[in-house]
Structure 1
Amino acid sequence: MMTNLFSVFDPTSSIFSLPLNWLSTFLGISFIPMLYWAMPSRWSLLWHKITMTLHGEFKTLLGPAHLGSTIMFISLFSLIVFNNFLGLLPYIFTSTSHLTMTLTLALPLWIAFMLFGWINHTQHMFAHLVPQGTPGALMPFMVLIETISNVIRPGTLAVRLAANMIAGHLLLTLLGNTGPSLPHTLVYLLIMSQILLLILEAAVAVIQSYVFAVLSTLYASEVS
């Protein structure tokens, strides 16, 4: 029985105190048939087209200093988009709706970028704290503002993804729970609205994955 509205996001399924819901993070791999890797098909060609398009965009954003790093951000996009789409299926736990998952992706990336930048490009990192043309009297305030905006980046990445996943799922849950109490004439409208919301959630799943990966590449390009 659902004790409160947010319990739909609570990983309570367990065997021997092991939270099995988090296994849904790797569940997308099991949906890929073995023939996908053995011989080309329309699905494999479509996914290859998507990854090559992402590779071209990420390569432009990263610049020549990070050639070869695009595979990491394409893998990040793939992991998030798989989990977002799996969360739209019934009885599958959406791991990307939890800050535990999104912070695990955002925080190590941000720490790695900062360490790389401050160790290898210290002067550039200091110069980045003060925008060009800033008056001397405002420099201390600009350094403080830029430092705060830099520190909260992993939090904004994580919260943006988790909040968008939670918002759509909560709306679907709220509308779905009103179904048994509605007259038959309104049930059809409810079903149509749920279908439209599912289409919107599918678009949000792709867009949020793309935004997460693109912002990560932009943060990486700023440290060099």
Structure 2
Amino acid sequence: MLDELVVKEQPSTDMEESIPCFQAPGPTLTFHHLRYHIRERLGMFSREWVEKDILKDVSGIMNPGMNAIMGPTGSGKTSLLDVIAGRKDPKGLKSGQVLVDNTTVTSDLRLCSAYVVQNDVLMGTLTVRENLAFSANLRLSRKEYSSADKKMRVDSVIQELGLKDCADTKIGTMFLRGISGGEKKRCSIGMELITSPSLMFLDEPTTGLDANTANSIMELLQKNAEIDMLIICCFVTQPV
């Protein structure tokens, strides 16, 4: 399990003072002495349960820019990601805390963060533009964003992610040919960028992609981190 962590960060603009979430030049996320465990049965038919440590005294800091956490399969990367992002059952957290600008993180973290799962969750019978519009209509407040504002945000994300050429192409299904794997990943990232988050977590963003496509995705994330002063945290499997 993950008991030693090295966060590889590509430095961005230095921060002289803490800035609240959503304000330039971007937040700083830190986590201190995280210990997380789960309960599991001793055997398939056993009535006895034991505690299994998943994270053991893990600490780190993430500044605006690209941050990468690498480790072999089964090392606890996704568990760490879920704990930091507030997606794990808090009952399993034995000790430690997660802070944004030295303020304890609550469920409100989800309001200023985005989470891109490993497997693309897109509607295959809809186009790229329609998927992004669905995300905008679902997640952007009606009080703050008019229909025209949402359309402008969708167009902006399409342009930002280089999806203009396939914007009106269906995602595709098992029986319907659609866009490429790299374009699907870009669309998945776009679904989360719609809300203009301050923090973005990505679980294995290059899984299933060829080397060239994977590199283009990472360059895209780096560019967005620099332009929007995002904290982008990528969890990737350590190369053999």
User: What TM-score, normalized to structure 1?
Assistant: 0.29
In terms of fraction of residues, the more strand-rich structure is: 2
User: What TM-score, normalized to structure 2?
Assistant: 0.28
In terms of fraction of residues, the more helix-rich structure is: 1
